[in-house]
Amino acid sequence: MNKGMKHKSAAAEREAASFREPLAAPMTGQVLSVLFGLLFLFQCMILPLVGKAAMGGSGSPGAGPADTVSKNVMFFLLMLLLTMATGAAAFYSKWLRRQADGSPFPKATAGLLVLTVAMLLAFAAGLLKI
């Protein structure tokens, strides 16, 4: 390796370390986890937007799907992706903290992230319309 490559490599490592340091702070992980929990709660609250009644109607004669089905689906998907991104950031923050100071594994954050991924898979497979 030449001298220029070593200099660029060291600079890249310092930049990565300066990015990871605030992300591994305990407060960052806690704030992201609380935000993730609130977004997951909101996601569960808007679940009926893409549920059976919205997609197929209420079951009464003449009732059909909601007029805003496409907007509902897009909003639900957008919120689901935002929730998952926040959960991944919270888990990554807590994972970095765990590597830095040996704190316990973030079981609650990981479990909620698994539930969010399961909800995305169920939504993509069309199982929420049943």
Q: Is residue 98 part of a domain?
A: yes
Q: Is residue 49 part of a domain?
A: yes
Q: Is residue 90 part of a domain?
A: yes
Indicate the average pLDDT of the chain. Answer: 84
Domain that holds residue 81: 31-129
For 1-38, how does the pLDDT look when each residue is reduced to its tens digit (9 = 90+)?
555 555 666 666 666 566 677 777 888 889 999 999 99
How many domains does the chain contain in total?
1
Q: How many CA atoms lie within 13 A of 95 on its CB side?
A: 8
Question: pTM, whole model, 2 decimals?
Answer: 0.79
Any idea which residue has 């600079």 for tokens? Answer: 11
CA–CA distances in Å: residue 24 to residues 48, 61, 109: 36, 56, 15
- Averaged over 74-100, what is the pLDDT? 94
Does 96 or 24 have the greater pLDDT score? Answer: 96
